[in-house]
Chains A and B, each alone.
Chain A
Amino acid sequence: MDVYRKYFDPQTLSKLDGLELKARMIVEGLVSGLHRSPYEGFSVEFAEHRDYVPGDDLRYVDWKVFGKTDRIYLKQYEEETNFACYVVVDASESMRYKSAGAAVSKFEYAQYLAAALAFLVLRQHDAAGLVLFDDEIREFIRASAQASQLKALLRALYQRLPAVPTGVGVILDELAERIRKRGLIIIISDLFDSVDSIVKGLKHFRHRRHDVAVLQVIDPAEEDFPFEEPTLFRGLEGGPELLSEPRALKKAYQREFRGFLDSLRRHCRDLHVEHILLRTDTPLDVGLRTFVSARSDRLHRS
């Protein structure tokens, strides 16, 4: 386990190439550490055939039909599980922030998390979908339990998106409208938006009876504010500039920041939304374990 643990460190992971490998490592390490998977016991049943298109997984080619008709069809299975998981990842400009001491940016951290969660879900034959957004929804992959889903998700996560400002609340609102089927919505974002707007979006999800979990990713510097020298802070997402002495501002800033987090946490609790704060220096398995444990507790409670 220690060997795995070493790789859960975001700093170590950042050196590896290939999101799939990273996600696999995270999850295998995690699962091997769990006594029991909360998602075991799923099965699938044949539904219909459809024409083969290049790129489809050859494992699902119905060779019998091919032998009879000389045409290539793929077997499609009907989902038997009710569980569909959407990983909603904030890809806005503020997520690109990486402080000097951090190994990865918040977005990179979110990528790992999203990949690992997708891997985890798909591994247990549940459907996993992905939403990538900034000020609008950039990518929307419907939840699916197909084996090719992981690749599709990872490909979407890998794509380079332009750095634009975010609007978390509005996007959540929009998404709640779009994802009609009940499921688990995992929002990975720094949530740097107005609390009211975010809460409104979350409420919308809850109204649709979605199970919502918020993984709030922040950079350690955003919480610790460790700066000493006079600094000109240039706001990402087109924010104003501020020249200040960080030492003098530190307390006030931290007070504001904590106030924001507390407010968010309080509202999440009120809405029965899982809220987990993750710093990018937190080992990913710890983050995932926290999330999984929280989910497990929640399931047992319900």
Chain B
Amino acid sequence: MTNSFSQPVLAFGFLSPWLLWGALLAGIPILIHLLHRRNHREMEWAAMRFLLDASRKASRRIRLERLLLLLIRTLILLLLALAFARPYIESIGGELLAHTPMHHVIVVDASYSMQAEEAGVSLFQRAQQMARKMIENARQGDAFHLVRISSLPPQSIVSRASYRREAVLSELADQSPTDERGDLPTTLGKVLQHLEEGPAIGRRQVTILSDFQVGLWWPDSTDERQRIRDLLVELDRQAEVILVDLHPPESQNLAVLSLESTAELISVNRPVKLAAVVLNDSHTARNNQPVDLLVDGRLAETVTADLPAHRETIVRFEQVFPGSGEYELQVRIADAFLPRDNSALMAAPVREAVNVLLVNGRPDGRKMHQATDYLRLALAPTPGDERGNLIRPTVIAEGELPESDLSRFDVVFLCDVALVTPAEGQLLDRYVRGGGSLIMTAGPQLQSDVYNRVLGEEFDLMPVQLGDRIELHADNLEGLTFDPGDYTSPIVAAFKGNPFAGLTTTRIQGYLSAQIRESDDGTTQVPLRYSNGEIAIAEKTVDRGRSIFLTTSVDRTWGTWAVWPSFVPMMNELVLHAVSEEWKQRQIRVGESISAVFPSMTYGMPVSIKKPDDTSVSVPLREVGEQTTVNFTDTPKKGFYRMELGHPLNTRQIYAVNLDPAESRLEAVPPTTMSEGLLAGTNISFRADWKPTGEAPTGNSAASVRGGLSSKLLFAVLGLLLVEQLMAWRFAVGLVGLVILAGLSAVLGTVHSLEGFSTGVGILVVVGMGIAFWTFRRSAGRSWRGRTGGA
């Protein structure tokens, strides 16, 4: 399946065409000849009649000799200019012409899809074998760059052109497929860079060995596609480009694309639903396929699933975690085609409780009259029974906030707190940006302008700009209700299809009017509105944390919501939503960084990360503002990365690093799409007929091979210089020398397998000499006959 791009059967070109200007030098002998004729001496001569007779008889021969000598001198300079312009002849198959060094850029696709196996040999191994053959088949003086298609640097394996084949082969042998997705534009950019920076030698060839996955080579985005095409066109302009398609004829891949929990929070002794997406990337359906769930490496559950062809199937599991801590979950499926994507990982931090701090802005001695009373009851229905409650609220008075250690709490509620001082604002800002969740609820005491100024303008924690207080008249029994829209927000998703929860029948008598702030950068969301369209709940992500504002009160001052059925689930959902990011932050993809924020007091805490290959690396802590952060970027392999935190936290966090599922779809770009799309209008060769036992695309294959002529031309120049000297001395001797030179070139051409070229040149020169000799003889014979006749 060779793409029939127009390859010239025989093409002639120059690698340094600007040096052809040197061919003008060939005019020098002619110029000298003409000037020489102009600059002659004059002399009186007595024996003129003999000179005239001699001139008349010998003029033809002399003219021929001079012409031939002039021709040889001109030819010498012409060939010299040609040699410096480094000509090449490109031919297909058969006899090869002279050779000039080649600059090879070999690109091997190292994305994890290249680990797909066919007959026990992975695509990556085939690519390696092929690259090795190319390097071994290369000739003396060839230079190499080795590049891999990957998303993580270094894309360049041999980044400086190497002339040492052994070293390049060694680097190639050391390569192994990555768990990364290919980053084609970056890789092609590197190739272009190498071509530009590469050695100024002969010809340039770029060979790309890939499985030509659709996801990598023909992305959905038109812009990306155009970018790849632009790069290929530029490559084609600068070098001979060969794309070697290694994709297997038929994909039989089964892959677990992802593993997620449907729960916002994974907690002890509560059933957690898990969903794994399994892909059957083959033409045949796989029924009764066992899919395993492993918890901490032990088989926890096996589900049998029917997997239709070319479809993704969701396989569900349910798991209960008996204790708090870090769990490693893994869903796997048996498949030998591409083993690397047979499983998906999930790190599950299981909490025993969620600690919530409730800041009471309205102290009151009467029962259930404080701003936090209903909220506390809603979050922890059984006070005193700590074990029974997932959420453990702690109530403090407004004045205690500055002295509190917020790092102990997952969520902080400000309930109808009238004022927030700049010091409190700074405390809350640090807390939220470090990953905490702040939920502010309104009430009759809350001073909008202070919130707007301190938490809004000064610390940028407010999701909304607060306005006037709206209180409905007590006679207005209808009041306002909530409008959850299409229930897309996780906060209200639990109410969908559950009208008895009473969300839409909740009556609100008062609220603070609020608008999305003008300075909002699009991160603010409104999960819930009132029936009049005003904002009920607004949510904003602030660095690693989030800030939520509830524009009505969580007690009975502004309505009956606190005693309505929707209140308890709504408050619980708010809290769970506030902490839901925690486990999601533990799920990352290959190449993404692991980052965590700790309280400032942990600065100096030893942190190490144990990688999937069981090697541990110490990770430095960085102090950013009031916080201490860890940023670990060395995640090139799929697996669990275990972060060990020393004193004072003495705990550990587990991160699951998964593959990019896009690489699991092995469908290759069809040749017609390649030729009519990406490669249209280029001379790029797209080949798929390579066999592991076959030849590399160099040599006598259909791929073109170019041969230089410079050295041969220089030898010819040397020979002609000798002939010129001989001719100037004795023309006949020089003529014999020229014939010998022609013969030698033919013989040497035969020895060096350059028959076509050398025989052609040899025949041309011999024929030329024959004609010259014949003319000479004829001229001499006529002159002799003339003399004898005269006598």
Contact = CB atoms under 8 A, between A and B. Distances in A.
Interface in B36-51: 36-37, 39-51
B44 A231 contact: no
A232 B39 CA distance: 10
Interface in B408-446: none
Given A240-B52, A242-B51, A245-B62, A232 B43 contact: yes
Interface in A271-288: none
Contacts of A260: 50
A18 interface: no
Nearest to A258: B50
B62 A249 contact: yes
Nearest to A244: B55
A242 B54 CA distance: 11
Shortest beta-carbon contacts, A-B, top 5: A235-B48, A252-B54, A239-B48, A252-B58, A97-B46
B46 A190 contact: yes
Contacts of B53: 256
Nearest to B790: A259
A237 B58 CA distance: 24
B57 interface: yes
A115 B86 CA distance: 75
B65 A243 contact: no
Contact of B58 (A93, A231, A249): A249
A283 B36 CA distance: 38
A4 interface: no
A236 interface: yes
A134 interface: no
Interface string B57-73: 11000100110000000
A255 B717 CA distance: 36
25 contacts: A93-B46, A97-B44, A192-B46, A222-B47, A227-B43, A230-B37, A231-B42, A231-B43, A232-B43, A233-B44, A233-B51, A234-B42, A235-B44, A235-B46, A236-B44, A242-B55, A243-B40, A249-B55, A249-B58, A251-B58, A252-B58, A253-B51, A255-B54, A256-B50, A256-B57
Nearest to A92: B46
A257 interface: yes
A111 interface: no
Interface of B: 36-37, 39-55, 57-58, 62, 65-66, 787
B44 A234 contact: yes
B447 to A, nearest CB: 113
Contact of B41 (A93, A106, A229): A229
Contact of A230 (B40, B45, B46): B40
A192 B62 contact: no
A47 interface: no
Contacts of A235: 44-46, 48
A234 B42 CA distance: 7
A248 interface: yes
Interface string A45-80: 000000000000000000000000000000000000
Q: Among the interface residues B42, B43, B51, which one has the most CB atoms of the partner chain A within 10 A?
A: B51
A216 to B, nearest CB: 12
Given A248-B66, A249-B55, A256-B54, A240 B48 contact: yes
A77 to B, nearest CB: 43
Contact of A234 (B45, B47, B55): B45
Given A219-B46, A231-B41, A248 B62 contact: yes
A245 B62 CA distance: 9
A106 B46 CA distance: 10
B210 to A, nearest CB: 68
B54 A253 contact: yes
Interface of B is mostly: helix
Contacts of B787: 255, 259
Interface of A: 93-95, 97, 106, 190, 192, 218-219, 222, 227, 229-237, 239-240, 242-245, 248-249, 251-253, 255-257, 259-260
B40 A231 contact: yes
A124 to B, nearest CB: 34
B44 A230 contact: no
Nearest to B47: A222
A234 B57 CA distance: 19
B723 to A, nearest CB: 18
Given A222-B47, A260-B50, A232 B58 contact: no
Contacts of B54: 249, 252-253, 255-256
A229 B66 CA distance: 14
A240 B52 CA distance: 9
A248 B48 contact: no
Contacts of B51: 233, 242, 244, 249, 253, 256
B50 A248 contact: no
A97 B48 CA distance: 12
A234 B55 CA distance: 14
A257 B36 CA distance: 27
Contacts of A222: 46-47
B788 to A, nearest CB: 11
Contacts of A245: 62, 66
Given A240-B48, A242-B55, A232 B62 contact: no
A158 B153 CA distance: 107
Contacts of B40: 229-232, 243
Contacts of B55: 242, 244, 249, 252
B41 A94 contact: no
B43 to A, nearest CB: 5
B36 to A, nearest CB: 6
Given A190-B47, A232-B42, A253-B50, 18 more contacts: A94-B47, A192-B46, A219-B46, A230-B39, A232-B41, A233-B48, A235-B45, A235-B48, A237-B46, A242-B48, A242-B52, A245-B62, A245-B66, A248-B62, A248-B65, A249-B54, A259-B787, A260-B50
A243 B37 contact: yes
Nearest to A255: B54
Contacts of B46: 93-95, 97, 106, 190, 192, 219, 222, 235-237
Nearest to B36: A230
A235 B55 CA distance: 14
B73 to A, nearest CB: 15
B601 to A, nearest CB: 102
A139 B66 CA distance: 49
A240 B55 CA distance: 12
Contacts of A95: 46
Contacts of A242: 48, 51-52, 55
Nearest to A253: B54
A90 to B, nearest CB: 11
A281 to B, nearest CB: 16
A256 B55 CA distance: 10
Contacts of A97: 44-46
Given A234-B42, A240-B52, A242-B52, A257 B62 contact: no
B38 to A, nearest CB: 9
A249 B62 CA distance: 8
Given A248-B65, A252-B57, A234 B43 contact: yes
A229 B44 CA distance: 15
A231 B37 CA distance: 9
A245 B63 CA distance: 11
Nearest to A254: B54
Contacts of A259: 787
A235 B47 CA distance: 8
A257 B50 CA distance: 6
Contacts of B47: 94, 190, 192, 218, 222, 257
Nearest to A233: B45
Nearest to A194: B49
Contacts of B50: 253, 256-257, 260
Contacts of A240: 48, 52
Contacts of A190: 46-47
A232 B62 CA distance: 16
A233 B58 CA distance: 16
B500 to A, nearest CB: 122
Contacts of A231: 40-43
